[in-house]
């Protein structure tokens, strides 16, 4: 049996009902809202004038004998329609993530001149923040006003427009109930439809590769990473640690044992490299670049080592903010290597000595003007990894 696709349309009123009742849901990777009020207004004008609007794509996914309808494409449109009807818009100053894309681009191996100016403000917000047990329009608006971080305006969509304007849909039904097969199908659909739209941050886009298999969530993005942030000379504010990036690079070194092979051939395409890493883990297939996840963690039993990593970082005082990606790499790459891959423990009673050694290495890297200006250059990433691993080796407990 082939994958099936059904077509149709619903009134705006019905779409918002599905959204408010949870009959359609956002996958975890679709977390952030990137439209501004002007784009929302243009959408409303198009709906009012009955112009063509790309259909909403919904995917049927069955988990634990429960059917879920995932919003594969259309979050921005549905969210904008809800906000336009309520006369609400999340405050950009409070939720802004506008500069994280620049940092993600630099970490992906792009030099400064390769980065394009971001046209859209990424808001660390999604429609789930408005929803609760009572999801009547009145209750939603009351909660938003009480929250205090929403701009209010005269609603752009009235009740009559909700009833008399329609949005089309594509409803996807995969030919398999196997979670792995469904994950692959929906991931490919999600990623293909988003190439032509407003891009997610690389970290969010990668989640489409593993989001339906919850057993990998804490491997690629452990909860403690929310407490590890990094600054960059291109951005203002704090950006959460990109754990998958570091994990992919350290995994590659563990597989080869040679620093200069890490990322080789992917200097300006490291995002592709990180995606290849995720695919190798999820498929549990041996790759020369990354080795085999199943041999490293039999039965996917990686959590004891993730927990040890967190406990060690807490004991050392490393779960904090860092001045640059140089600092972050030196502090964490070696720690990840010895705990996750070599299954060792670090002598946290010597944390002041460790901190001194790491600080000396960081100052040495920053004293190099070229390293300081182009920290995403592959040779400098390799150097930071090598130094970090060598430093932590002196504090390994047998």
Which has more pLDDT, 162 or 26? 162
Q: Quick one: pLDDT at residue 198?
A: 46
Domain boundary among 163, 198, 233: 198
Residue 37 within a domain? yes
- Compute the average pLDDT of residues 146-154: 92
Are 169 and 57 within 8 A, CB to CB? yes
Contact 380, 107 (CB under 8 A): no
Burial class (CB in 10 A: 0-12, 13-18, 19+), 66: exposed
Asked if 191 and 270 sit in the same domain, the reply is no
Residue that wins the pLDDT comparison between 124 and 148:
148
Based on the domain organization, do 223 and 189 belong to the same domain? no
> Does position 170 have pLDDT exceeding 80, yes or no?
yes
pLDDT at 70: 86
Same domain, 146 and 74: yes
pLDDT-based confidence at residue 16 (cuts at 50, 70, 90):
very high
Q: Do 144 and 59 belong to one domain?
A: yes
The per-residue pLDDT for 211 is 66
pLDDT in tens, 89-147: 998 777 765 444 444 444 444 333 333 334 445 567 888 888 888 999 999 999 999 99
Can you tell me which residue has the tokens 């004038």? 49
Domain that holds residue 366: 215-397
7 vs 73, which has greater pLDDT? 7
CA separation (Å) from 51 to 41, 46, 163, 166? 14, 5, 17, 10
> Does residue 64 fall inside a structural domain?
yes
Average pLDDT, the chain: 85
For 162-317, strand residue ranges (E) read 166-173, 229-230, 239-240
- Residue 206 inside a domain? The answer is no
Instruction: Retrieve residue 147's tokens.
Output: 């929250």
Of 48-52, 303-307, 327-331, least confident by mean pLDDT is: 48-52
Does 34 score more than 70 pLDDT?
Answer: yes
Phi, psi angle pair for 73, to nearest 5° = -150, 130
Q: 194 and 261 share a domain? A: no
Do 281 and 162 reside in the same domain of the chain?
Answer: no
Q: Is the pLDDT of residue 341 over 50?
A: yes
Shared-domain flag, residues 148 and 229: no
* pLDDT reported for residue 200: 53
- Asked whether residue 203 is assigned to any structural domain, the reply reads no
Q: Are residues 156 and 124 in the same domain?
A: yes
Contact 209, 278 (CB under 8 A): yes
- 208 part of a folded domain: no
**What is the per-residue pLDDT for 19?**
93
Please check whether residues 181 and 219 belong to one and the same domain.
no
Q: How many domains does the chain have?
A: 2
Summarize the confidence of residues 288-312 as an average pLDDT. Answer: 94
Evaluate whether residue 294 is within a structural domain.
Answer: yes
The predicted structure's pLDDT at residue 378: 92
pLDDT top residue among 214 and 337? 337
The last residue of one of the domains, among 173, 198, 223, is: 198
Is 205 within a domain?
no
For residue 398, the model assigns a pLDDT of: 73
Residue 60 lies in a domain: yes
- Rounded average pLDDT over 349-361: 97
Question: Is the same domain home to 105 and 235?
Answer: no
Residues 172 and 290 in one domain: no
Per-residue pLDDT of 220-241, as tens digits, reads: 999 999 899 988 555 555 788 9
Pick the range with the lowest mean pLDDT from 58-72, 139-153, 347-361: 58-72
pLDDT bracket for residue 178 (50, 70, 90):
confident
Are 250 and 194 found together in one domain?
no
């Amino acid at each position: 049996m082939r994958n099936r696709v059904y077509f149709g349309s619903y009134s705006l009123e019905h779409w918002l009902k599905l959204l408010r009742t949870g009959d359609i849901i956002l996958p975890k990777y679709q977390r952030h809202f990137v439209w501004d009020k002007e784009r929302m207004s243009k959408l409303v004008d198009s709906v009012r004038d009955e112009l063509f609007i790309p259909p909403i794509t919904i995917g049927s996914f069955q988990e634990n004998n429960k059917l879920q309808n995932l919003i594969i494409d259309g979050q921005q449109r549905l969210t904008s329609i809800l906000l336009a009807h309520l006369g609400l818009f999340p405050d950009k100053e409070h939720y802004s993530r506008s500069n994280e894309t620049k940092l993600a681009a630099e970490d992906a191996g792009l030099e400064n001149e390769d980065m394009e100016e971001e046209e859209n403000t990424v808001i660390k917000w999604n429609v789930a923040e408005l929803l609760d047990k009572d999801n009547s329009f009145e209750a939603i608006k009351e909660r938003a006003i009480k929250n205090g971080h929403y701009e209010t305006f005269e609603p752009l969509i009235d009740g009559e427009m909700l009833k008399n304007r329609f949005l089309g849909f594509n409803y996807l039904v995969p030919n398999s109930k196997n979670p792995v097969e469904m994950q692959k199908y929906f991931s490919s659909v999600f990623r293909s439809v988003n190439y032509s739209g407003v891009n997610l941050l690389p970290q969010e886009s990668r989640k489409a590769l593993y989001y339906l298999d919850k057993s990998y969530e804490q491997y690629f993005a452990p909860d403690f990473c929310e407490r590890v942030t990094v600054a960059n000379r291109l951005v203002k504010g704090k950006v959460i640690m990109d754990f998958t990036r570091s994990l992919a690079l350290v995994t590659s070194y563990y597989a080869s044992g040679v620093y200069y092979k890490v990322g080789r051939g992917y200097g300006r395409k490291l995002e592709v490299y990180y995606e290849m890493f995720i695919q190798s883990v999820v498929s549990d297939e041996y790759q020369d670049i990354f080795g085999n996840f199943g041999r490293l963690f039999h039965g996917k039993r990686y959590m004891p080592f993730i927990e040890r990593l967190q406990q060690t970082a807490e004991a050392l005082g490393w779960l904090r903010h860092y001045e640059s990606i140089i600092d972050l790499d030196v502090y964490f790459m070696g720690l990840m290597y010895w705990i996750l891959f070599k299954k060792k423990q670090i002598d946290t009673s010597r944390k002041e000595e460790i901190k001194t050694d790491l600080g000396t290495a960081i100052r040495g890297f920053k004293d190099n003007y070229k390293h300081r200006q182009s920290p995403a250059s592959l040779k400098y990433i390799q150097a930071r990894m090598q130094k970090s691993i060598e430093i932590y080796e002196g504090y390994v407990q047998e």
